[in-house]
Amino acid sequence: MIYFNILECPCKIVYKKNETAEKFELNHKASNFTHNHPADPSLVSKCLDAKAKDYMIEEIKKKKMTPAKIQEKLNDKFGIKYIYQAVANASQNIDLQLFGSQTEDAETLKNLILKLKEKVPQFLGEILKEETTNKLKGLIFATPLMKELANKYMDLLIMDTTFGTNRFRMKHWTMCGKDNNNRTIIFAEGLIAQETTEQFSWLLSQAKGYFNKEPNFILIDSDPALIAAVESIYPNSNLKMCGWHTENNIKKHLYGFKKGNIF
């Protein structure tokens, strides 16, 4: 990857892709940093400053975004179209700063799950991997205590996923319910790479096989992929939509309509 100045300038910057680290690195030997003209103030102003980096950190903490999307948000926030490569490099460094190196995380997690299965009788711990790349697609775990609670209180089952707040941006999935004192109890937890029917079905199949119980009522949001998975794995359960999610969707999609216009 080579970047040239639009002027007839001898300067050129060469980036070489590091396949192991999955990033581009500056090739000093192939690059030439000599210019035949003064620095362009308009380009200097588009380099990332401290306020832009602080803003990037806060946005990346919320959810995963491509460098192009971050560049767009920076432009909207500060009125400056920052240099793409500077944004991409800063994004990668922030990822490393917030979430650490990715080289051994999945392997460490797999080994931990295997050790728990050896030490704890009736521990549920299963991992789903991508066949071609061997990347982690899904994970589910539950302890014997969770199983005991499920046997008592899984008449009502509540499920939801959070935003991908970990470095891999995987979705955190929770299967929970209520006990006889109206306290929230956890039956199982997991991670999935994507919110698809296939991956939700994998989670639910593992849970159903472990608990060997079908709830009377299942409460979820209106995610079509999750609905399809629930109807496939728990066909005899009564599926209900969460009122909180329904109310928020009404506010989001019907905002601005005056009373009487549509009802």
DSSP string for residues in 172-210: EEEEEEE-TTS-EEEEEEEEESS--HHHHHHHHHHHHHH
The C-alpha atoms of residue 205 and residue 200 are separated, in whole angstroms, by: 9
**Looking at the structure, do residues 71 and 129 belong to the same domain, yes or no?**
no
Alpha helices in the chain (DSSP H): 41-44, 50-62, 67-78, 84-99, 105-119, 144-153, 197-211, 224-233, 243-253
Contact 140, 207 (CB under 8 A): yes
Give the pLDDT score at 5: 44
Determine if the pTM surpasses 0.85: no
Pairing status of strand 156-161 against strand 217-220: parallel
**Residue 27 domain-assigned (yes or no):** yes
Sole residue written with tokens 């070489």: 16
Task: Give SS3 for 128.
Answer: strand
Identity of the residue numbered 201: S
The C-alpha atoms of residue 17 and residue 40 are separated, in whole angstroms, by: 28
Q: Number of folded domains in the chain? A: 2
Identity of the residue numbered 76: D
Give the pLDDT score at 248: 66
**Looking at the structure, do residues 244 and 126 belong to the same domain, yes or no?**
yes
Give the pLDDT score at 166: 65
**Residue 263 domain-assigned (yes or no):** no
**Residue 115 domain-assigned (yes or no):** no
Question: Consecutive sets of 10 residues in the chain, 263 residues long: mean pLDDT of each?
Answer: 51 72 70 66 62 83 78 86 82 75 69 90 90 82 95 92 71 92 94 92 96 92 89 92 65 59 49
**Residue 85 domain-assigned (yes or no):** yes
Give the pLDDT score at 6: 45
Give the pLDDT score at 25: 76
Give the pLDDT score at 49: 79
**Looking at the structure, do residues 36 and 144 belong to the same domain, yes or no?**
no
**Looking at the structure, do residues 93 and 172 belong to the same domain, yes or no?**
no
Give the pLDDT score at 192: 92
| CATH number of the CATH domain containing 148 | 3.30.420
**Residue 88 domain-assigned (yes or no):** yes
Q: Which domain holds residue 30?
A: 2-99
Contact 190, 198 (CB under 8 A): no
The C-alpha atoms of residue 68 and residue 182 are separated, in whole angstroms, by: 46
